A and B are shown apart, each in its own frame.
Chain A
Amino acid sequence: MAHIIVVTSGKGGVGKTTTSASLATGLALRGFSVAVLDFDVGLRNLDLIMGCERRVVYDFVNVIQGDATLNQALIRDKRVDKLYILAASQTKDKDALTPEGVERVLAELSDRVDYIICDSPAGIEHGAMMAMYFADEAIVVTNPEVSSVRDSDRVLGLLQSKTRKAREGGSVREHLLLTRYDPIRVERGEMLSVEDVQEILAIPLLGVIPESKSVLQASNSGEPVILDAGSDAGQAYADAVARLLGEEREHRFLKPVKKGLFSRLFGG
């Protein structure tokens, strides 16, 4: 039985797809077999972030509607072993993701991989509800910014009431992933701190991903940022993967890097 993890947020543009791509890749780098699924029907982007956009032949909706088998639709990653991508449909209606269809695809995948990562669309409409419904765990991606925190709280409410786990009397295990964190602005009092966000949302912290140029560079080239092992964001994602697997890792990149006299004088 695979472990199903939804990456969700409510608000758009906070880093759900970047996170899905990096966590899936990170888990596969650790030797697990992983499938990462794009639930954003009509606005698929996971394929671009994973760098396999030219290899999409069949998509999630094709599999649900029986036009293709799962084997035909799963795209095998060329960099990391045992990592598979299932693209969202770009043309079909978003209601094509039927609960029965999604359940069937997840059940079939469940026998074949260790982890299923569900990349949720923004909002709390049908696609987002389908992405979270069957989840065992949820990673709530949040920016240190008022609208994102409010939306995350709303999504937490849905995770606690509208998921299969909740309906069966259990609960989805929740994790907070704070992204685009800028320690310099936090120190100046211009940005909510990780403690502030944790106090409001009151869920365990999986990781803090610093604001980093490497994220855009990674998406430009279609490489999940976790593969850029020298970058701060890549390392922060690797730490998050380790914590997801139950390892203890101290949180990094929470404080501004102190510049030395030399770089302060000459700009570095």
Chain B
Amino acid sequence: MGIFNYFRSKKTSAQVAKNRLQIIVAHERAENSGYDFLPQLRREILCVVQKYVSVELDHIRIDVSKEGNCEVLEFNVTLPERR
């Protein structure tokens, strides 16, 4: 990339391509993690969490990411605002 791109505010089409790819690839990796049990696991976690707080299925996110040789299974539960 030339030095002139630094002064250009508009992104090059290659930069746009890279950003779009990073997003879609991350999304698809989570979906195709190779673990078929993830949707069921998500529903069961919902049941457990619901015993204590009221949350919806949409509030639980599961991601599988790779860090070096390790695979990391990540849960994110968004709790409702406390009244």
Seen from chain A, the residues whose Cβ lies within 8 Å of a Cβ on chain B are: 145-146, 149-150, 153-154, 157, 160-162, 186-193, 196, 199-200
Contact = CB atoms under 8 A, between A and B. Distances in A.
25 contacts: A146-B17, A149-B25, A150-B28, A153-B25, A153-B28, A154-B32, A157-B33, A160-B34, A161-B34, A186-B14, A188-B12, A189-B1, A189-B5, A189-B14, A190-B12, A190-B13, A190-B14, A191-B14, A192-B17, A193-B1, A193-B14, A196-B14, A196-B17, A196-B18, A199-B18
A153 B24 CA distance: 10
A157 B34 contact: yes
Contacts, number: 52
| Chain B contact surface mostly | helix
Given A154-B28, A187-B1, A189-B1, A149 B13 contact: no
B9 interface: no
CB-CB nearest 8 A-B residue pairs:
A189-B12, A161-B34, A196-B18, A189-B14, A153-B25, A157-B32, A146-B17, A200-B21
Number of chain B interface residues as a range: 10 to 19
Contacts of B21: 146, 149-150, 192, 200
